[in-house]
Amino acid sequence: MTQTQFDKQQFLKDLEVKDIQLYVNGEFIDAESTKTFDNLNPFTNEVINHVAEGDKADIDKAVESAKAAFKGTWGKLKVAERLEYVNKIAEVIDEHVEEVALLESYDTGLPISQTRKMVARAAKNFRFYAEMVSSRMVGEAYQVDDEFINYTIHKPRGVAGLITPWNAPFMLETWKIAPALATGNTVVLKPAEWSPLTANKLAEIIDEVGLPDGVFNVVHGFGETAGASLVSNPDVKLISFTGETKTGSEITKNGADSLKEVSMELGGKSPIIVFDDADFDRALDACTWGIFSFNGERCTANSRLFLHENIYDEFVEELKERVGNIVVGDPMDDKTQVGPLIHSTHFNNVTRYLKIAEEEGGQLVSGKIPEEFKQGNFVAPTLVLNATNDKSVAQEEVFGPVLTVMKFKDEEEVIDLANDIEYGLAGYVWTKDIQRGHRVAQAVDSGMLWINSQNVRDLRVPFGGSKSSGIGREGGHYAFDFYTEKQVIHVALTDHHIPQFGKKKD
Ligand SMILES: NC(=O)C1=CN([C@@H]2O[C@H](COP(=O)(O)OP(=O)(O)OC[C@H]3O[C@@H](n4cnc5c(N)ncnc54)[C@H](O)[C@@H]3O)[C@@H](O)[C@H]2O)C=CC1
Ligand SMILES: O=C(O)/C=C/C=C(\O)C(=O)O
């Protein structure tokens, strides 16, 4: 279907009668138990459709088919043939950008103007890894005089278990699937239960591309059942997880029995530090975008703002004006900047934090939610003023459109404040003094740090967090360490001396 032929209203109507199935061994099937769960629209809290509820039996079936595909068709392909499939997935995603973005916004409440970009990034993830594998998945060779040559090769690990969250589902799923497939693994994906629509669409896209049966499987279901079964299955060789820190910790423990490789992209509570010599307007733009885009449901969100005391009052005045002007509304509307949160449970969690913030002495300044949208899970963009770094709202991941604003005096103090937290995912520094920029950037404990920039991505660099924000790095060639087994081959070039144990003397 071309994008011009695409009829949005008809598409959404059809969706409401179409239930979602699992995708196992190249077929769309019901869960063995025949159970389903309701998928809700965050804008109305009405049921969109029903989703097959996979559990251990379905996971085991999917793993079995992924294992067979790894040993069979997929494992036997030439690299170029494999990468042709990977590039083809990107091509078909590009043909469906509008449709996938619409599904994503409908399912998650993320504004359509933002989901379009994320879907385009998803296609890029596949192209990028096809290119990386063909050009950068290279081994090393060491020569030892004329006696040996020792070289390394990368081998796919086997069945990759991928467990993903709901905050940018399609993009984050593809960020794992692309390197997993490009490096030669087969995949079982367990998407987040609150956002199944685009994972199902991805299964349809991959089905259309015609990947061999069993190479890619999707098992919908809950974390404690389907997710946990994927983690404990001994035939799954790696788990790549993105989600909350406490879930990551549980998965790491549960995967230990079968000694799996794990990669953990976890929570964040990232500082943005604005010095008094910063480009004021750009820092303001970046700070506002960084916390209120993705509805604030963003792991790299700059949720802790540290303002130098000389600019505090002026910056806060501007922030108040921005917060009042942000367009809160229907996620399907192009003009919307902040939509409803994913689920009423999450809404309750975020509003609970706002209550705690007030009880702890914070002063809340919030934008407006239009009256007609009260049925959705809306939280207005909010500033928490008068906060200090020891308060819950400054220390815990709220994962909503809530910015905690704090004041600092000097560089030393702000570095201590920025690091006084269990998380270490991202950070942002704004200053025109480039030496200070580097100094502060290097002193902040975070996996990623941007100077005078919002969160702009370069897919070649490692992505991930330090402290409680993660284990390991994906992205660029760093993903090869995780998705492949490195084997070293030692080759003798001469008949070198070998000790002759047990040999009779002549
Ligand atoms: N560091 C990063 O790159 C990113 C981190 N995140 C983090 O994700 C979180 C939001 O996502 P949520 O979906 O709420 O996270 P979550 O941890 O609740 O769930 C994530 C996934 O794990 C599954 N799961 C839950 N319990 C499980 C278990 N015991 N065994 C196996 N699987 C299990 C869920 O079903 C879901 O598919 C936030 O904390 C956010 O910071 C989100 C995006 C990027
Ligand atoms: O760019 C990536 O690879 C991942 C980005 C993820 C986020 O920014 C998020 O989920 O917040």
- Dig out the tokens for 128 from the structure: 């990028």
Instruction: Please give the Cα distance from 239 to 235 (Å, whole number).
Output: 11
Domain map of the chain by residue range?
Answer: 49-266+469-489, 271-451
Map residue 423 onto helix, strand or coil. Answer: strand
Position 4 scores a pLDDT of 43
DSSP bridge partners of 491: 149
ipTM higher than threshold 0.90: yes
- 350-356: long-range contacts at Cβ-Cβ below 8 A with a sequence spacing of 24 or more? 350/379, 350/398, 350/399, 350/400, 350/402, 351/379, 353/392, 353/393, 353/396, 353/398, 353/400, 353/402, 354/379, 354/382, 354/384, 354/393, 354/402, 356/392, 356/393
Which class is domain 49-266+469-489? alpha beta
pLDDT digits 0-9 by tens, 246-294: 999 999 999 999 999 999 999 999 999 999 999 999 999 999 999 999 9
Q: Give 402 Cα–ligand 2 centroid separation in angstroms.
A: 18
> H/E element holding 200?
helix 197-209
Which residues, 6+ apart, have CB-to-CB distance to 435 below 8 Å?
A: none
* Predicted pLDDT of residue 3: 43
Q: What pLDDT sits at residue 6? A: 59
Question: From the CA of 151, how far away is ligand 2's center (Å)?
Answer: 35
The DSSP element (H or E) to which 286 belongs, if any, is: helix 280-292
Distance CA 246, CA 165 (A): 13
Structure confidence at residue 10 (pLDDT)? 79
- Rounded to two decimals, the pTM is 0.96
- Residue ranges, the chain, pLDDT below 70: 1-6, 16-17
* CATH of region 271-451, choose from 3.40.120.10, 3.40.50.1100, 3.40.309.10, 3.40.50.300: 3.40.309.10
Cβ of residue 167 lying under 6 Å from some atom of ligand 2: yes
The number of beta carbons lying within 10 Å of the beta carbon of residue 20 is 23
Three-class SS of 293-305: HHHHCCCCCCCEE
Q: What letters, b where the CB count within 10 A reaches 16 and e where it falls short, cover 201-212?
A: bbbebbeebebb
Identify which of 244, 293, 299 to mutate to test ligand 2's pocket (most ligand atoms within 8 A of the CB). 299
Dist. CA 137–CA 160, nearest whole Å: 18
State whether the beta carbon of 136 lies less than 6 angstroms from ligand 2.
no
